Amino acid sequence: MRGTDGELADAVAAAIERDNPDAQVVVDDQGGYVRIAVPRRCVLTRGSLEEELGREFRLSALEPALASFAGRLRQTEEQWVWYLERRD
């Protein structure tokens, strides 16, 4: 994530940790951007993010903050899933 909204970056990182309890989540804060890494598959739900922020939030509002990511991204209004290989 790029940008200077530290509250949002912290909330996204915490929500990802919550939504991926069995995965090793690595958060690398570089000041101007925050890199969040989760091996193979990463889930972010709107519910977890809203709980961390304490307010409503549309996941699509994150798009401008995404500098890049590895793999693919499947998006719905309720969750985003980044993955390297499909598991349909």
CATH classification of the domain holding 21: 3.90.56.10
Q: Tell whether 24 is covered by a domain.
A: yes
Q: Tell whether 18 is covered by a domain.
A: yes
Q: Tell whether 88 is covered by a domain.
A: no
pLDDT for res 69: 78
Total domains in the chain come to 1
At 3, is the pLDDT very low, low, confident or very high (cuts 50, 70, 90)? low
pLDDT tens-place string over residues 50-83 = 999 999 999 999 988 887 777 889 999 999 999 9
Structural domain containing residue 13: 6-83
Q: Tell whether 53 is covered by a domain.
A: yes
First to last CA, the chain: 27
Q: How far apart are CA 55 and CA 87, in angstroms?
A: 32
| Percent over 70 (pLDDT), the chain | 93
Q: Which range has the worst mean pLDDT, 6-10, 31-35, 83-87?
A: 83-87
**pTM greater than the 0.95 cutoff:** no
Q: Tell whether 23 is covered by a domain.
A: yes
The amino acid at 65: A
Q: Tell whether 71 is covered by a domain.
A: yes
* CB crowding 22-58: b at 16 or more within 10 Å, else e: ebebeeeeeeeebebebeeebbbbbebbbebbeeebe
Check whether 32 has a pLDDT greater than 90: no
Q: Tell whether 1 is covered by a domain.
A: no
